[in-house]
Amino acid sequence: MQTYVAVMILLVVGGTLFDVSHKKSARYFSDLWRNAKSEGTRRVGGGEMALLAIHTVVVDGLTSGEFCNARRRVAHLLTMYGFLAYVVTTVIMVFLYPTPATPAPAVVPALWYIGGLLVCLGGYWFWFFIRVDVSAEGNSPFRLVQADLFVISLLASVTLGLVWACIQSAGDTIWADVFLAAYLLATTVLFGSIPWSKFSHMFFKPAAAFQKRVEQANGSRRNLPAPSTNPAGLGSSRQLPRNY
């Protein structure tokens, strides 16, 4: 298991670097940063830059302030903090308490279960009730596209992991082995499909949020238009639909 977890960590690092190289994300942010500096109307000092970074971490990172929809924000926070607890406790148990002779403190597996349940709560809530194509467009919640790969593999991995842990605790070794194999397969898909899923977005989004705050602070041009002030919620150049 230690070897397996180490391989998964390497897949995350390698997959993210490949994704950055393939999509040229680093060049994109570098160009934005250079344009922001050249087009800015005021200079942002080091102290202000540090405050912007802290603000980005607290607002956009720790509290997911970019979400205007309250339900989606709560679901995202449940999934994010649940996943962090789940991954951290997994690494702790695998590397620090690998055998029955070195049992982990009760709080560690408890946090593992809690983290997994939070992932399931936030993830399934989002999947069945909050997704735009389901809640607004009326599509089936079982409709799958490539963009869903990250969420599906995450929910499959965590769900199968919880089921495996419960069956193992009950002492059913045969079914425990079956669900362990399914759990490892789903987890491998989760961490091995980074170049084709949205996994790496968790690294890109903070960078984009910080870039946006710097551009707003130095007065440089934004690459998106300002929000509309039309009371009907439509852009000024658009007309109301005929069936409005």
- With 50 as the cut, is the pLDDT of residue 56 above it? yes
Count of Cβ atoms closer than 10 Å to residue 10 Cβ: 11
Looking at residue 74, what is its pLDDT? 93
Per DSSP, helices labelled H in the chain are 2-23, 25-39, 46-55, 70-96, 107-125, 132-135, 149-170, 173-192, 201-218
Write the pLDDT tens digit of every residue in 77-100: 999 999 999 999 999 999 999 888
Average pLDDT score over the chain: 82
Specify the higher pLDDT residue, 39 or 11.
Answer: 11
What is the mean predicted confidence (pLDDT) over 146-164? 92
**Is residue 219 left, alpha or beta, with left meaning phi > 0 and alpha meaning psi from -120 to 50?**
left
Domain ranges of the chain: 53-137+145-214
- Residue, of 147 and 24, whose pLDDT is higher: 147
Question: Are 67 and 76 a contacting pair, CB within 8 Å?
Answer: yes
Q: Is the pLDDT of residue 236 over 60?
A: no
Range scoring the smallest mean pLDDT among 15-29, 157-171, 187-201? 15-29
DSSP string, 115-143: HHHHHHHHHHHIIIII-HHHHTT---TT-
Q: What is the arithmetic mean of pLDDT over 6-16?
A: 92
Cα 36–chain centre separation: 27
Return the percentage of the chain with pLDDT > 70, whole number: 83
Q: Indicate the pLDDT class of residue 242, thresholds 50, 70 and 90.
A: very low
Dist. CA 109–CA 89, nearest whole Å:
7
pLDDT of residue 232: 45
Lowest mean pLDDT among 18-22, 178-182, 220-224, 234-238: 234-238
Span 20-33, pLDDT tens digits: 777 766 676 677 66
The rounded percent of the chain whose pLDDT value lies above 90 is: 39
